[in-house]
Amino acid sequence: MHDQSSFIRSRLHRFRQEYLPAALYRERTPLRLTRWDVPDEPVPFAEAVVAEFVPFVAGAGAESHWGSPWGTTWFHVTGTLPEGWSERADSRVEALVDLGFNAAGPGFQAEATAYDADGRIIKGIEPLNAWVPRHGITPDGRTVDFYVEAAANPYVPENGWFIPTPLGSKATAGRAPLYELRSLDLVLLDVPVWELTQDVQVLAGYLDELPADSPRVAGIEAALDRMLDAVDPRDLASTAPAGRKALEAALASPAVASAHQVVATGHAHIDSAWLWPTRETVRKCARTFSNVLDLMEEDADLVFACSSAQQLEWIRLTYPELFERIRTRAVEGRFVPVGGMWVESDTNLPGGEALARQLVEGKLFFLEHFGIDTSEVWLPDSFGYSAALPQLVRASGSTYFLTQKISWNDTNRMPHHTFHWEGIDGTRVFTHFPPVDTYTSDLSARDLRRAERQFREKGRTNISLVPFGWGDGGGGPTREMLAAAHRQADLEGAPRVTLGSPRQFFERAEADYPSPPVWSGELYLEYHRGTYTSQARTKRGNRRSEHLLREAELWATLAAVRAGRDYPYDELQRLWRVVLLNQFHDILPGSSISWVHEEAERDYAEVESAVETIIDESLKAVLEEGDSQIITNAGPYDIAGVPALGGTTGTSARSSATVTSDGRGAVLAGDALRVRVDARGELTSVLDLLADREVLPAGTTANRLQLFEDIPNQWDAWDVNDHYRRNEIELRSDATVTIEDDAVVVTRSISESTVRQRISLSPDGRAVEVDLTIDWHERQRLLKVAVPVDVLAERATSEIQFGHVHRPIHQNTSWDAARFETCAHRWVHVGETGYGVAVANDATYGHDIQRIVTADGVATQVRLSLLRAPQFPDPDADTGRHRMRYSIRPGSSVPDAVAEGYRMNLPLRRVTGARAPEPVLTVDEPAIVVEAVKLAADRSGDVVVRLYEAYGSRATGTLRAGFGLADAVETDLLEREVERRAVREVTGENVRLQLRPFELVTIRLRGC
């Protein structure tokens, strides 16, 4: 046979470009329009429809322009259904809108919400999904009357993904209209032509995905050729059915026995903020969810997974009618809450209790409003996954975990797609990385074949999940994607596609693969390493808020138990939810537009002020009126004689250090340390007097500020590339050194910025503390502070949530080398047998810890990443004032580092009152750390305490309640009773505990 392949493909190409789309609508007629531009921020329907609308015409060039950046324009759309358009089986009446769509794709540009005349949301309008169904637009079947709320969202990366843009803030984006409303028409969709389009789309997709010399490809080509013969391109309205007939056999040919199995879950990744502010996300959710509900009317098989409680809460508060429709579909098991988190949070940066609350708030919301106990944690897009997560997933009552982001690794490929993920405490969670490598699949042949090709468990199991639907900026599934799903349910050459929920997938996958391989420890993302540092004020706000909330809950609990004060349940929940929202995976990591980060900083200021009020009022109730000086300690360890979780009367001991100037610098000296500071503020010697040991390697200095060129290859806010290390900028050394009280104060300019450092010894004299105030005016630069330590360490220990991880600091393998920037929470520790040093901080997360060669041999250098200055998507990221503290604690063990981390983040508080607070509870074993004390969410008055083993050891100890104790039960994170594991015995006020390494325990204490 002669080879006809290329001729058939060319013929098909022209047909698909020219004739198929042109025949999609049998008729088309413009509708009458009036418009109203919202003066500023979006308004509800009721407010919009009574505004003064003015005549408007679509498709008339400049006359049809609308929408300055971030503006909203309402269109009132009216008309009459033309005679003869009455519904037939082979055609559908719809409205079709072109807002002036560009090539940016759904969710990244203009989008709109269609409302019927009564204000009920009909559907979202977005590129590639821009139709509005008849039922919403013609209340009586004859007259057309509906509204379109159009959002002029700009395409922020219009000039590229690393070019500074003014579009990320209303203040700088300008007023010029961004879009032209090209058309808003009533159309008559030709159903057979649409169906033929879907047939062709699916079959043609396999021409490039299957081996070119396979019989299947030849068969598809021949079928498409017959289809082209069967139709009249000039009269598809009459001949499309014949064309479909010609493709029937090719579409009916069943999948092979070994075909990969795909559970396709409808989804819309909706970033809670990113290249748009949260207020726009509220509307994105409404558009997306109404799209989904509309599709569900058409297709009984669609299952949609919705992952953020926060987004449904926005809908509940803003669009209650839509929320009720969602609930109806949720009851049917089709609109499926998943994820169990308040938002799809980052998991590197949030503290332990915050990550627990993400799960608590998320799961409680889904239980309260949907009666659904979610079973899977769903984080497709966060930038790496903490080794604390498996235990937290389990402790929340969930069993499964899903992400795909690790496929973005820039160096190493993960060996598994379906596996048991083991956390620091040994807890294992059944985990899946969809091998399709996207959370926005369109169910094309390309995506499905990629999933099949890449799946690494082949031969042992053969099932994967494919999340489909437009995403990042929302959108969700379309009818075209569903058409593709159905055509590929059992199709030769394709994976077998079933529409289903994540839980259905996980249950099938686990049954099919009961003993999967194990990945132990963190899922480090070899990418986006700058997100530990970018937008430092957002990060400090998060850290500070987490610790303030701990304090507020502790003192409010004490006030409730001791003084009968009302516990501020609602206010604390509200404040926690603000903090949780800002842990979203583009806010806390620092990768959003300036609008978002300005809002986050305002949020944190509001949280601080509200939490301080709770703390203040709670302490007043506990301490009563009086004028004694009282110091309180909300931390889990005694600090300078102030007991943990309690307080003492008197003034706290200041450090007994002496400070003397030696002409060019200064010397700080106490009983344990003698520290020499030079004229630039660098430490030239840190002498550990107790160990009789110089901490710094020969020829090095500590507290050394280093400035680097930081121009990532792409993704400014997200990435640090390792070439920064070879591009250090020499700093001028002009500085002033003064002595203030017991501290050395160094003020220094570096490049365009100034740094003020207050260097002192801690109250116990065991740590050097540096308090930095930085006025930062750099562009694309990275500021680090280096602390070289004369120890031969093989690994660094870094605090994560509820424990710590060890990471090698050599670069033997590509995995070690790729980990050149890492995330740690309050402390890192490096050491050799018998001696170690802790470096703690109260604001930063990015670190690099590596070997250095000195005159005496190999030593270890700890560096904290203090500030960056990325220019995209926020051109002014990090500009301005910053405050951060860190400490160097020589002679530290890991337990010392744990205590130092709390001390730096929970400073003592000085108040006045009648008497010092007696702790609401105490724990006599330092390895067992109290992370949270609060009253139970069920408002029973029970005290809930969350504890964990912090050293990586077995720990036995006694928790002693500071009130009459009737009983103590173990619970999950949601405070639901579970089988006892750690609680061994309850006698009187004493609860005997036994914890495994890093074990997390929640205990509900019932008072009597």
Q: Minimal distance in Å, beta carbon 423 to Zn ion?
A: 23
Q: Which C-beta is closer to Zn ion: that of 64 or that of 153?
A: 153
* CB atoms closer than 10 angstroms to residue 851: 14
Q: Does 381 help bind Zn ion (rule: CB under 5 A)?
A: yes
Q: How far is the CB of 472 from Zn ion (least distance, A)?
A: 6
Q: Which of 271/346 has CB closer to Zn ion?
A: 271
In this structure, the number of other CB atoms found within 10 A of the CB of residue 439 comes to 24
Rounded to whole angstroms, the maximal C-alpha distance in the chain is 103
CA distance 863 to 73: 50
User: How far apart, in whole angstroms, are the C-alpha atoms of residue 468 and residue 448?
Assistant: 11
Listed ranges 91-99, 207-215, 265-273, 647-655: which one lies at the site for Zn ion (CB under 5 A): 265-273
Q: How far is the CB of 326 from Zn ion (least distance, A)?
A: 21
Rule CB under 5 A: is residue 346 a binding residue for Zn ion?
no
Comparison of 409 and 652: residue with beta carbon closer to Zn ion: 409
Number of residues binding to Zn ion, judged by CB under 5 A = 2
Q: How far is CA 916 from the centre of its chain?
A: 41
* Closer residue to Zn ion (CB): 107 or 681: 107
Which of 646, 569, 568, 562 lies closest to 614, judged by CA? 568
CB of 317 to Zn ion, least distance (A): 23
Nearer to Zn ion, 199 or 442 (CB): 442
Q: Pick from 348, 388, 872: which is nearest to 585 by CA?
A: 348
3-class secondary structure for 202-235? HHHHHHCCCCCCCHHHHHHHHHHHHHHHHCCCCC
Minimal distance, residue 271 CB to Zn ion, in Å: 4
Smallest gap from residue 588 Cβ to Zn ion (A): 13
Q: HSE (CB half, 13 Å, CA atoms) of 473?
A: 24
CB 965 within 8 A of CB 972: no
Q: Quick check: 376 and 614 in contact, CB under 8 A? A: no
Nearer to Zn ion, 111 or 381 (CB): 381
CB proximity list for 796: less than 8 A, separation 6 or greater: 806, 807, 809, 822, 828, 829, 830, 847, 849, 860, 862
Which of the ranges 245-253, 266-274, 812-820, 933-941 carries the binding residues for Zn ion, by CB under 5 A? 266-274
Return the structure tokens found at 385: 């996954």
* Residue among 271 and 876 whose Cβ is closer to Zn ion: 271
d(CA 385, CA 528): 13
Q: Which of 381, 472, 848, 942 is catalytic?
A: 381
Both tokens of residue 721?
């590339």
Report residue 384 CA to chain centroid gap: 10
Burial 77-109 (b: 16+ CB within 10 A, else e): bebebeeebeeeebbbbbbbbbbbbeebbbbbb
CB within 8 Å of 894: residues ≥ 6 apart = 797, 804, 829, 836, 951, 952
Task: Compute the least distance from the CB of residue 270 to Zn ion, in Å.
Answer: 8
Nearer to Zn ion, 112 or 275 (CB): 275
Q: How many CB atoms lie within 10 A of CB 651?
A: 10
- Nearest to Zn ion of 408, 519 (CB atom): 408
Q: Rounded to the nearest whole angstrom, what is the least distance from the CB of residue 446 to Zn ion in the complex? A: 22
Phi-psi bin for 547: left (phi > 0), alpha (psi -120 to 50), beta? alpha
Angle between helices 215-230 and 236-252 (to 10 degrees): 160
What tokens were used for 231? Answer: 């139709």
CB closer to Zn ion, 274 vs 724: 274
Q: Is 742 a catalytic residue?
A: no
| Cα 390–chain centre separation | 17
Give the torsion sign (CA, 950, 955, 961, 962): negative
Q: Where are the alpha helices (DSSP H) in 474-624?
A: 479-487, 502-512, 536-563, 569-581, 594-623
CB of 690 to Zn ion, least distance (A): 49
Q: How many residues can be counted in the chain?
A: 1008
For residue 71, which of 186, 169, 151, 161 has the smallest C-alpha distance?
151
Residue nearest to Zn ion (CB): 381
Distance of closest approach, residue 718 Cβ to Zn ion, in angstroms: 12
Binding mask 931-960 for Zn ion (x = CB under 5 A): ------------------------------
Kind plus residue range of the DSSP H or E element containing 7: helix 5-14
Indicate the residue among 243 and 350 with the shorter CB distance to Zn ion. 350
With respect to Zn ion, which residue has the nearer C-beta, 221 or 271? 271
H or E element: which one contains 237? helix 236-252
By C-alpha distance, which of 633, 634, 637, 642 is closest to 927?
637
Region of 142-150, 376-384, 452-460, 763-771 interacting with Zn ion (CB under 5 A): 376-384
Shortest distance, CB of residue 865 to Zn ion, whole angstroms? 23
In the complex, minimum distance from the CB of residue 269 to Zn ion, in angstroms, rounded to a whole number: 6
Q: Bin 222: left if φ > 0, else alpha if -120 < ψ < 50, else beta.
A: alpha
Query: By rule CB under 5 A, what string of x and - marks binding of each residue 268-297 to Zn ion?
Result: ---x--------------------------
Separation between Cα atoms, residue 42 and residue 48, nearest integer Å: 9
Give the H or E element holding residue 294: helix 278-298
**Which residue, 381 or 942, has its beta carbon nearer to Zn ion?**
381
**Alpha carbon distance 1000, 948 (integer Å):** 4
With beta carbons less than 8 A apart as the criterion, state whether 215 and 227 touch.
Answer: no
CB of 344 to Zn ion, least distance (A): 7
634, 909 contact by CB (below 8 A):
yes
Under the rule (CB under 5 A), what is the footprint of Zn ion? Answer: 271, 381
What amino acid positions are annotated as catalytic residues? 381
